[in-house]
Amino acid sequence: QVQLVESGGGLVQAGGSLRLSCAASGRTFSTYTMGWFRQAPGKEREFVAVIRWSGGTTSYADSVKGRFAISRDNAKNTVYLEMNSLKPEDTAVYYCAASLVKSTVPIFKGDYAYWGQGTQVTVSS
């Protein structure tokens, strides 16, 4: 089992940047594929980015491709989401999640077994 705690959210102007962190407990962090999702008010939780357990493969939602970057440091049990050129439509609660799926790059909520509590990102226009 793994516990996840996000940090780094906040209020930023459009065009600005933020870096989210997700710290994981447990000695098996390196075996999990890690993802970021977000949920805006009144909307479904949606996929943002994923990085495989080995760190060699990443995937992004089209809406953030070229602006966001996911990375991980297995020695620190931490996954990051670097967010640049932020837009008001990026405003949401951002969640990190852990998946044991190995055969593919998981982009669906149901592929993830563990979730953090979320961190709010607000982008003002």
Tell me, what's the pLDDT at 59? 96
8-17, 40-49, 96-105 — which is least confidently predicted? 96-105
- pLDDT, greater one: 28 or 59: 59
Please give the share of the chain, as a percent, with pLDDT higher than 90.
84
List pLDDT tens digits, range 37-95.
999 999 999 999 999 987 779 999 999 999 999 999 989 999 999 999 999 999 999 99
SS3 per residue for the chain: CCCEEEECCEEEECCCCEEEEEEECCCCHHHCEEEEEEECCCCCCEEEEEECCCCCCEEECCCCCCCEEEEEEHHHCEEEEEECCCCHHHCEEEEEEEECCCCCCCCCHHHCCEECCCEEEEEEC
pLDDT at residue 103 greater than cutoff 80: no
- pLDDT band per the 50, 70, 90 thresholds, residue 5: very high
How far is the CA of 33 from the CAs of 29, 86, 114, 122, 125, in angstroms? Answer: 9, 25, 11, 26, 34
